[in-house]
Chains A and B, each alone.
With several copies, the nearest count.
Chain A
């Protein structure tokens, strides 16, 4: 009879708290969005599943290991505990993902038309104006955000998952779940969020602008570019060096042509393995007490604002640049500056085709798109540097 009591007492139903039940539902909703709606499934499937796992009462997925007085392991920790502390707290997983993203990135469009880098810069306005919004909410006592929290929330506007995870795990780890979920959700919503803003800020004529065909880019340029970027980062913004350093490393492996074996593994087995564990580890931060509060609503709201402002800033920047340049830029590609590779570039292409079925913007939009990745990483470095000093 004692046994039955023990089994019952240790069962999920008996221990279940309302918060856990709600969080398991949140995890299921994330899985639904990922699987049925196609929301960034590569990340949201592991994050959603991790959310369910960590909220199973009594399963101990995020339990810390226990050691006896001699330092011998008495009870091993839970899977998600190890994943989080080995890969996310240390920053290793986001950095390895960035290496993989670098190995998957083709800078040809950017190299053919380097001024599109400025579109990627402009879109980061979304990040910093969101920081401002968050501190305003904190200032007026509406929500309890510190400057570190605000910086982590702002980075959602960078529309770059690993960057957001890297920054948040350094500055405000207790917000990691909410920030990562917001970042990936809004990235997935790019096809819904961006087009109205794009149409509102551009005229039919602007949307119909045909851009010059991109010049071919030589292999040497593609090899030297990641090294050039690395050197500039090293000299000017060492705080951005971890993220951009690994990004450039991946890209150099891709382009140099002599380590295709390594590049292949980086783009496949390695990034896939780390993506699984990164997602599960992020899910491990989706506990009721960290996620079910007013701040999360604030984060989701501010994140959406960040996205919209970033999109708008990219478009407006393109229009400003057109005032000073003879080679006109179609302002739609400015919206791709938020990153969200390659979704944002595809959206720019699709909206452009609505105005003129012969105007293919995809390749042109890849320039600001990858520039947005660089821009967000730079913003991340600056924020980590400045906030650490505050």
Chain B
């Protein structure tokens, strides 16, 4: 019975680490292939354009653009030392 417990632990270690390594190794390969394909067939410019378009169709952000603008202005001034005034 006790031997079984140790055996179970060894089994768990063996198959556990095996699975973890095999899985992540596969994920490394799959990720490389994916990146390769994406960068060949979906270059950045195209993607950004499409995503931006999709975003435009989505409901507007909940922050009032005027406030965003105002904050941006404040940031700009802070950085630019009031050049725009």
Contacts and interface: CB of A to CB of B under 8 A. Distances in A.
A147 B20 contact: no
B35 to A, nearest CB: 5
Nearest to B2: A139
Contacts of B8: 135, 147, 390
B34 interface: yes
A7 interface: yes
A78 B32 CA distance: 33
B85 interface: no
A212 to B, nearest CB: 15
B71 interface: no
Interface residues of B, number: 46
Contact of A4 (B9, B15, B21, B51): B15
Contact of B9 (A117, A147, A217, A268): A147
Contact of A125 (B17, B57, B62): B17
Interface residues of A, number: 65
A368 to B, nearest CB: 11
Interface in B22-62: 23-28, 30-32, 34-35, 38-39, 42-44, 47-48, 50-51, 53-59, 61-62
A374 B24 contact: yes
A268 B62 contact: yes
A288 interface: no
A118 B28 contact: yes
Where chain B touches its partner, the secondary structure class is: helix
A213 to B, nearest CB: 16
A131 B10 CA distance: 9
Nearest to B19: A382
Given A121-B25, A257-B54, A258-B55, A228 B12 contact: no
Nearest to B10: A132
B67 interface: no
Given A38-B56, A382-B15, A260 B61 contact: yes
A170 B39 CA distance: 42
Contacts of B27: 114, 117, 228-229, 232, 374
B14 to A, nearest CB: 8
Contacts of B31: 110-111, 114, 117, 225, 228
A378 B44 CA distance: 31
A236 B23 CA distance: 8
Given A131-B12, A139-B3, 13 more contacts: A36-B50, A38-B54, A114-B27, A114-B28, A118-B21, A121-B24, A124-B17, A128-B13, A131-B13, A219-B47, A220-B44, A260-B61, A378-B23
Interface of B: 2-3, 5-6, 8-17, 19-21, 23-28, 30-32, 34-35, 38-39, 42-44, 47-48, 50-51, 53-59, 61-62
5 contacts: A41-B54, A117-B24, A218-B38, A218-B39, A261-B62
Interface of A: 3-4, 7, 35-38, 41-42, 110-111, 114-115, 117-118, 120-121, 124-125, 127-129, 131-132, 134-136, 138-139, 141, 146-147, 150-151, 216-221, 224-225, 228-229, 232, 236-237, 256-261, 267-268, 371, 374-375, 378-379, 382-383, 386-387, 390
